[in-house]
């Protein structure tokens, strides 16, 4: 071979190498599924590549000359961003329940990130709580609100009065620390005593601190029914807090609770749309059930009776001089909620199965109001309260600013079946939402609203939180008689690139991370 020929061969070889370069090899390739990326209005037949804890690439594998060490066949399956649940009560499960860290009931809904600390109950020491959760390990990712009720409780107990200036300053200082430590924002539970004793000035002053950190004002509003200011009055208050403080407003588990406010979803929506038109950022979340879940004391006992301490409340419930007023108000509260037949006693600690307050009262040979008082005096009970209309539920659900949540509590199937139920009932059966809308409102909208950056989309450089589910079988199993049965249909669930569910079976690995608001400098540089 002459030197010229050798040069030519070398040149041709290098051209051939350019034409068929070595493929890029990633860790995992999910191929053959229909991919919904969290933003698009429809699905695409493309592949998703995962490398380490990030999404390496979403698109045509051949065109990109990409391959992987492991391929997952997703033929016939839906591939989507892992769902994000913005309202749970999982801090107790994670920290105190035996084997509660895995949160299997959320993973099997396709949820890769849960948020806790809502309703004003989030820990004051958010940084400490996030560190403790990370230390124990957990299945999905985890983020926290810090709570007004907790701040107020630490500074001024259960007192029924406005804070003194020095007390408000102390609450602000503790809130600043929590936000600096990664809290998603300030949550309130203005319906609940003692937070209900706070007026709008107190809340707006605290929400202004959240605004300093570009964090959310998140609220279980003062009223979802017609107890005091009314649903519309409470929505107006939440919007006014946004206006005064400059914070983005998020309304928790939006609903029209009870016969007196059925149909008011229309007015709620137009008020929120008007506020958005004037420049306020307003969002909400919703669980797809017609029954709420709470304690019988929260549902029926008037707030004035709850001040100071449980002992003080018990004394008021027993005091003969309060009797007529209590009976009148509890009777009225029962009427709003549809009567004693619409209150189901659940998650009972006495080992009995669920039964309605009517049935319970009959068994105790008491009238329902006295039965309710006795139950509270005996240590309270969890209830499912059937108090919503489907027309309101669907009207809220259609709004592009309403995201999916569970508000999961023990004894209510929403804890294990909210996302599958929303899909099965409101996408598949009733076509209230398209599949893409359901996915986008369960992932991207939530991540963007909560400032969980690098989450909520299938996008290069984002964290690999990915759900792969079977559209034929994704659905709830739990109902009110078996409220803990795990949902079906999730074939694979990736949390930070690791499989929490593989081939339909739960793994024991705890790959969730404690997430801080907006902590993703590395994502912004790499994502495209």
Task: Report, in Å, the least distance between residue 151 CB and Zn ion.
Answer: 17
Residue nearest to Zn ion (CB): 220
Report the 10 Å Cβ neighbour count for 80: 30
Name beta bridge partners: 283: 250
Q: CA-CA distance, 231 to 467, in Å (whole number)?
A: 36
Strand ranges in 190-279 using DSSP code E only, listed in sequence order: 216-220, 248-251
Tokens of 159: 């007192």
Q: How far apart, in Å, are the Cα atoms of 177 and each of 48, 74, 126, 322?
A: 39, 45, 8, 42
Task: Report, in Å, the least distance between residue 253 CB and Zn ion.
Answer: 6
DSSP 427: I
In the complex with Zn ion, the residue whose CB is nearer, 224 or 465, is 224
In the complex with Zn ion, the residue whose CB is nearer, 220 or 306, is 220
Choices 34-42, 169-177, 202-210, 215-223 (CB under 5 A): range interacting with Zn ion? 215-223
Task: Report, in Å, the least distance between residue 173 CB and Zn ion.
Answer: 26
- Stretch 163-202: interaction string toward Zn ion, x if CB under 5 A: ----------------------------------------
Report the 10 Å Cβ neighbour count for 355: 16
In the complex with Zn ion, the residue whose CB is nearer, 51 or 119, is 119
Task: Report, in Å, the least distance between residue 198 CB and Zn ion.
Answer: 16
**Which helix (H) or strand (E) element contains residue 111?**
strand 111-116
Q: CA-CA distance, 30 to 48, in Å (whole number)?
A: 5
- Stretch 103-132: interaction string toward Zn ion, x if CB under 5 A: ----------------x-------------
Sign of CA dihedral 73, 76, 82, 85: negative
Task: Report, in Å, the least distance between residue 309 CB and Zn ion.
Answer: 22
In the complex with Zn ion, the residue whose CB is nearer, 66 or 195, is 195
Task: Report, in Å, the least distance between residue 87 CB and Zn ion.
Answer: 7
Name beta bridge partners: 475: 488
Size of the site for Zn ion (CB under 5 A): 2
Report CA dihedral (130, 462, 219, 181) to the nearest 10 degrees: 30
In the complex with Zn ion, the residue whose CB is nearer, 214 or 380, is 380
In the complex with Zn ion, the residue whose CB is nearer, 272 or 439, is 272
3-class DSSP state of 271: helix
In the complex with Zn ion, the residue whose CB is nearer, 140 or 147, is 147
Position 414 contacts Zn ion (CB under 5 A)? no
Among 148, 220, 337, 422, binds Zn ion (CB under 5 A): 220
Tokens 């030197």, residue located = 3
Please report, as residue ranges, which positions from 339 to 368 form the binding site for Zn ion (by CB under 5 A). Answer: none
**Residue ranges in contact with Zn ion by CB under 5 A:** 119, 220
């Amino acid at each position: 071979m002459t030197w010229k020929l050798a040069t030519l061969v070398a040149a041709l070889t290098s051209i051939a190498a350019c034409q068929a370069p070595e493929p890029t090899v990633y860790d995992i390739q999910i191929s053959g599924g229909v991919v919904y990326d969290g933003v698009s209005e429809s699905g695409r037949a493309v592949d998703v590549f995962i490398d380490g804890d990030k999404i390496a690439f979403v698109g045509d594998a051949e065109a990109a000359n990409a391959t992987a060490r492991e391929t997952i066949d997703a033929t016939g399956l839906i591939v989507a961003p892992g769902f994000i649940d913005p309202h749970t009560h999982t801090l107790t499960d994670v920290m105190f329940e035996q084997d509660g860290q895995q949160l299997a009931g959320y993973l099997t809904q396709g949820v890769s990130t849960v948020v806790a600390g809502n309703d004003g109950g989030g820990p004051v020491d958010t940084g400490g709580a996030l560190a403790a959760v990370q230390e124990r390990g957990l299945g999905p990712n985890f983020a926290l609100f810090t709570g007004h009720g907790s701040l107020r409780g630490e500074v001024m107990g259960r007192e029924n009065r406005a804070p003194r200036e020095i007390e408000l300053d102390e609450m602000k200082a503790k809130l600043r620390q929590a936000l600096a430590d990664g809290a998603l924002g300030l949550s309130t539970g203005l319906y609940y005593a003692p937070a209900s004793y706070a007026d709008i000035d107190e809340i707006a002053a605290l929400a202004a601190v959240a605004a300093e950190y570009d964090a959310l004002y998140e609220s279980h509003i003062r009223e979802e029914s017609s107890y005091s200011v009314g649903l519309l009055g409470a929505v107006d208050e939440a919007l006014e807090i946004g206006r005064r403080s400059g914070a983005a407003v998020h309304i928790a588990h939006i609903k029209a609770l009870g016969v007196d406010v059925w149909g008011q979803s229309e007015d709620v929506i137009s008020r929120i749309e008007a506020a958005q038109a004037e420049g306020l950022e307003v969002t909400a979340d919703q669980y797809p059930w017609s029954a709420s879940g709470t304690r019988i004391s929260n549902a029926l006992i008037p707030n004035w009776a709850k001040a100071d301490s449980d002992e003080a409340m018990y004394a008021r419930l027993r005091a003969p001089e309060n009797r007529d007023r209590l009976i009148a108000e509890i009777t009225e509260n029962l009427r709003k909620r549809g009567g004693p037949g619409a209150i189901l006693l659940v998650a009972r600690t006495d080992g009995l199965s669920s039964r309605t307050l009517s049935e319970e009262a009959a068994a105790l040979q008491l009238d329902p109001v006295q039965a309710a008082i006795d139950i509270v005096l005996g240590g309270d009970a969890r209830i499912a309260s059937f108090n919503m209309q489907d027309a309101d539920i669907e009207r809220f659900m259609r709004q592009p600013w309403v995201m999916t949540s569970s508000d999961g509590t023990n004894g209510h199937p929403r804890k294990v079946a909210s996302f599958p139920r929303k899909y099965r009932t409101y996408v598949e059966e009733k076509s209230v939402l398209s599949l893409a809308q359901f996915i986008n409102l369960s992932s991207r909208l939530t991540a963007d609203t909560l400032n969980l950056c690098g989450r909520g989309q299938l996008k290069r450089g984002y964290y690999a939180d990915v759900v792969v589910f079977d559209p034929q079988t994704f659905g709830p199993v739990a109902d009110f008689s078996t409220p803990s049965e795990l949902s079906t249909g999730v074939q694979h669930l990736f949390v930070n690139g690791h499989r929490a569910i593989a081939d339909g079976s739960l793994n024991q690995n705890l790959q969730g991370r404690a997430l801080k608001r907006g902590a993703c400098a590395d994502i912004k540089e790499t994502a495209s």
